[in-house]
Structure 1
Amino acid sequence: MTQPLPAAPWLRYLIAAAVLAALLALALWPARHLVDHATVRQGTVRESFEAEGRARMQQRFVLSAPVAGVVERLEWEPGEHVQAGQVLVRLRPLASPALDARSRAQAQAQAAAAQASYAAAQAEAAAAAQTAQLAASAADRAQALAAQGMVSAAALQQAQTQRETSAQRAQSAQWSQGSARYQRDAARAALLAHDPARPGAAALLLRAPIDGVLLRRHLQSERAVPLGEPILELGNPQALEVEADVLSADAVRLRPGMAVELLRWGGPATLKAEVRRIEPAAFTQVSALGVQEQRVRVWLALRDEPAAWAGLGEAYRVQARFVLRSVPEALYLPSAAVFRHRSANGAGGAGGTRTEPGWAVYRIDGQRARLQAVQLGLQGEGRVQILAGLQAGDQVVLHPPRQLSDGAWLRLR
């Protein structure tokens, strides 16, 4: 029987050497870093900041007692709509002593001044309504001419803005007229309450000075009230504005007319607004972390139609995003891709352009990471504008780990 020949010693040595070489190559093979990546894109980059705000009704009116008396039980509930001239409160005046000659002259002068104020408000309301009508006609003509290419887009936008502004002024003038009418009636009632020739005067009927919604009821049951006691508060839900408390360091960068977006107000869409007024005085506010902050009250005007923010009411919370600057059609990256790096100081970007010291990214070249200095522009909302160093379509590493280096092998998620 034939015995197998023993393996040559050199063959065993060769196999052992091959295994050792494979193990050594495996140990020395460069590790691949598992990383996230993003693509350089073209779009809008904006610089903005956010602040918390509250919706306010521009036109509010407090219905108060013109004379001391007893208010009958109120049947109105907050949220109910009222019309101008509608009876809201019945007030039975208390017995009042007769006025002396001096006090009666003062009451008559106040009644005459209230009548003059009402006449002036009535004239202003008529003028504002006429101006609004003319602005609406001009906007309609501009729109027709723009459709024929005879008016520029800027002129059309100006005409439309003028129409909206005039309509708001006319509405505000109507409210002022209603308020002046109520002040006139209150002055007359106060004068009649002290007239000795009218004993046992009938109850005074306090009517709604304007069309609106009942916001607040200061009392409900029948009780006596002194002169000037607030009874009801009315407001116009179609004329809302937003009050935002902004850090003073941010407020110095704001200007009237700047664009604002209203977020997280409860509706499905983002509302458009603009800065209307910036108060000149700041106030101190303690933050949730216990830090004292100087804040400035900024008033915003809504630019969407009332149907867009239906349901938004008095003192409702909103989040206001102030847009400071905007660059359309810019190359941008997520801000998580850029970092400071010593080797980026003084490095050249694409085409030999000098870049901003210190900023760099890891550009993905095949399966390797290439350290690339970049020059940054506008930054905001999680995006950074790329001025030099990259091109549209380049891929870069997001959140680069500290152990990543130039030329390292990558494995993309």
Structure 2
Amino acid sequence: MNWKRLTVWIGGLAVAALLLYLGFRPQPVWVDITEVSRGAVHQTVEEEGRTRVMHRYAISAPVPAHARRVAWEVGDAVQAGEVLVRLDPLLPQALDLRSERQAQARVEAAEAALATAGEEHQAARAGADFAAREQERLSRLGERGAVSRHDVDRAAAQARQAEATVAAARHRVNAARAELEAARLALAFAGQRDEETPEVIELQAPASGRVLARHFESARVVQPGEPILELADPQALEVEVEVLSADAVRIRPGMAVALQRWGGRDDLDGVVRRVEPSGFTKFSALGVEEQRVRVIVDFISDPADWAALGDAYRVNALFLLDSREDVLRAPISALFRDGDHWAVFVVSDGRVRLRRVERGLRGGGDVEILSGLEPGEAVVVHPDRDLSDGRRVRIRPAP
């Protein structure tokens, strides 16, 4: 037997077998990894909102009249009591007994509304004084470490909310006073004029602010209730956010809100004042029917920080629903379903090992890991569908 030839044949078969093995064995899969770490997990809801003035005043004609030219421009500043529009009343028509009594009843109702608004203002003022004293007390306790910083911040937010309630009550008093004046004018110009009835009606600003809208400029005849100007204080702003009803049930008054992408350099701080009790149907940009609820948010940042904002400006509201500090966390994209359990692929010695985990709070792209992982372990993010336990992998370099 030719041992040399046999050796060559055996060597050739070994090389062929090796090539076949190398050609058909599973190739390592490229994967992206990240390390499991400790940190905070925040569960949030983000929606687009818009600012709106809190107290809007509509200046309208109380009686049929000829309105003189309106010289005010949108954006002009006005002071409370300043004359905005002058009206020359048209010849009045005689009222029948029922209409006259209705006009008188309107005056009485306006007087009662003014009295009610005044009492509400006093009640709001008392609540604001109590909130201010509570904030001062907790601030002193916080300096000594007797209460947490969270309690101090919450007291400060409640004090600012109480002051906003006082401002709202004060504006309601102004609105009720203006309504009473309009009711009295309507009654005075009903039927025959007496000597005390003015020849010219001067509509005054019920509160200081700026002109938001002017419905016409040239002189013209106006009818009762026809709007002429709109006034508001552009610094008395709130944010209206439309959220999905499924998210609204988890939002509570007093919840912290971060107002982002409003045009300024830094985020603004806000707090939920009210979650409206009724929803409405809205179609998304893709034509999907959604049930949404309006959430009203108050600014608690320094007014100087958002002085550039005006009515109907766009902002993004980020609601902080829940938070966990210093917990073990991993990217949500690393988790997948393994039967009835959640699992991840852990990278070890060039291979992946399937590991079942128990998850907790989820939010902000991360998920709290209650069990199954240790800090520093590397897990695969966005695992490929073909990846399986024990598969060889190659780690893709970070960009």
Q: Is the aligned partner of 1:89 residue 2:85?
A: yes
Whether 2:51 is the aligned partner of 1:48: answer: no
After TM superposition, give the deviation of residue 62 of structure 1 in Å.
0.9
Larger CA deviation: 291-300 vs 80-89: 291-300
- 1:374 aligned counterpart, secondary structure: strand
* 1:209 is aligned to 2:206: yes
1:379 aligned to 354, 358, 362, which one?
362
> What CA deviation, in whole Å up to 9, does each residue of 1:42-74 have, x standing for no partner?
122233333332322221111111111111121
Which residue of the partner structure matches residue 269 of structure 2? 272
Q: What letter corresponds to residue 45 of structure 1 in structure 2?
A: V
Give runs of aligned pairs for residues 13-412 of structure 1, distance below 5 A.
Answer: 23=19, 26-27=22-23, 31-99=27-95, 103-104=99-100, 106-115=102-111, 117-122=113-118, 124-125=120-121, 128-129=124-125, 132-133=128-129, 135-149=131-145, 153=149, 156-157=152-153, 159-194=155-190, 195-198=192-195, 201-341=198-338, 357-412=340-395
Shifted more, 267-276 versus 61-70: the winner is: 267-276
Structure 1: segments with no counterpart, 5+ residues = 1-7, 343-356
- Displacement after TM superposition at 1:41 (Å): 1.4
Q: Is the 8 A contact 2:157 2:300 kept in 1?
A: no
My pick for the range that moved more, 144-153 or 288-297, is: 144-153
**TM-score w.r.t. length of structure 2:** 0.85
SS at 2:73 equivalent: coil
Q: Are the aligned partners of 2:160 and 2:300 in contact in 1 as well (CA < 8 Å)?
A: no
Distance in 1 (alpha carbons) for counterparts of 2:131 and 2:244: 38
Tell me the percent identity: 46
Note closer, same or farther for the CA distance 1:158–1:32 as it changes in structure 2 (3 Å cut).
Answer: closer
**Which whole-Å CA distance do the structure 2 matches of 1:404 and 1:186 have between them?**
76
Does the 8 Å CA contact 1:53/1:242 hold for their aligned counterparts? yes
Q: Is the 8 A contact 1:93 1:201 kept in 2?
A: no
After superposition, what is the alpha-carbon deviation per residue over 1:255-278, rounded to whole angstroms, capped at 9, x for unaligned? 333333333333333333333323
Structure showing greater radius of gyration is 1
Shift of 1:188: 2.9
What secondary structure sits across from 1:189 in the alignment? helix
Does the Cα contact within 8 Å between 1:259 and 1:322 map onto a contact in 2?
yes
Contact 2:87 2:200 in 1 (8 A): yes
Q: Which amino acid aligns with 2:361?
A: L
CA deviations 1:234-257 (Å, max 9, x no partner) are: 222232222222222333333333
The answer (yes or no) to whether the contact 1:368–1:410 under 8 Å persists in 2 is yes
Aligned mates of 1:75, 1:227 — CA distance in 2: 21
Change (3 A) 1:221 1:383: same
Distance 1:399 1:218, change over 3 A: same
Question: What is the rounded CA distance, in whole Å, between the counterparts of 2:380 and 2:138 in structure 1?
Answer: 52
Deviation of the 1:325 alpha carbon: 2.3
CA spacing shift, 1:11–1:148, aligned 2, 3 Å: closer
Q: Deviations for 1:90-133, whole angstroms, at most 9, x for unmatched residues?
A: 11111214556665555455445534544554455456446545
Amino acid at match of 1:215: L
Distance 1:365 1:246 in 2: 43
C-alpha distance in 2 between matches for 1:170 and 1:381: 37
SS of aligned partner of 2:176 = helix
Could you tell me how far 1:209 is from its partner in structure 2? 0.5
- The residue type equivalent to 1:268 in the other structure is R
Measure the CA separation in 2 of the matches of 1:212 and 1:325: 39
The worse-fitting range, judged by mean Cα deviation, of 78-87 and 106-115 is 106-115
- Answer whether contact 1:61 1:179 (CA < 8 A) is retained: yes
State the distance in 1 between where 2:318 and 2:132 align.
Answer: 31
Q: 1:161 to 1:199 in 2, by over 3 A?
A: closer
Quick check: 1:98–1:196 contact (8 Å CA) kept in 2? no
CA distance in structure 1 between the aligned counterparts of 2:203 and 2:189, rounded to whole angstroms: 14
CA 1:178–1:94 in structure 2 vs 1: closer, same or farther (change >3 Å)? same
Q: Which runs of 5+ in 2 are unaligned?
A: none
- Residue 335 of structure 2 aligns with an amino acid whose one-letter code is V
C-alpha distance in structure 2 between counterparts of 1:280 and 1:130, whole Å: 27
Mapped partners of 2:154, 2:333: distance in 1? 41
Aligned 8 A contact 2:30 2:394 in 1: yes
TM-score after normalising by structure 1: 0.82
Partner secondary structure for residue 70 of structure 2:
coil
The one-letter amino acid of 1:39's match is E
Q: Residues 338 and 111 of structure 1: is their aligned pair in 2 closer, same or farther, counting only changes over 3 Å?
A: closer
SS of structure 2 residue aligned to 1:174: helix
**Partner of 1:3 in structure 2?**
none
SS at match of 1:285: strand
User: Alpha-carbon deviations, 1:368-393, whole Å to 9, x = none?
Assistant: 22222211122222212111111111
Q: Which residue of 2 aligns with 1:5?
A: none
SS of 2:172's equivalent?
A: helix
Which whole-Å CA distance do the structure 1 matches of 2:99 and 2:338 have between them? 82
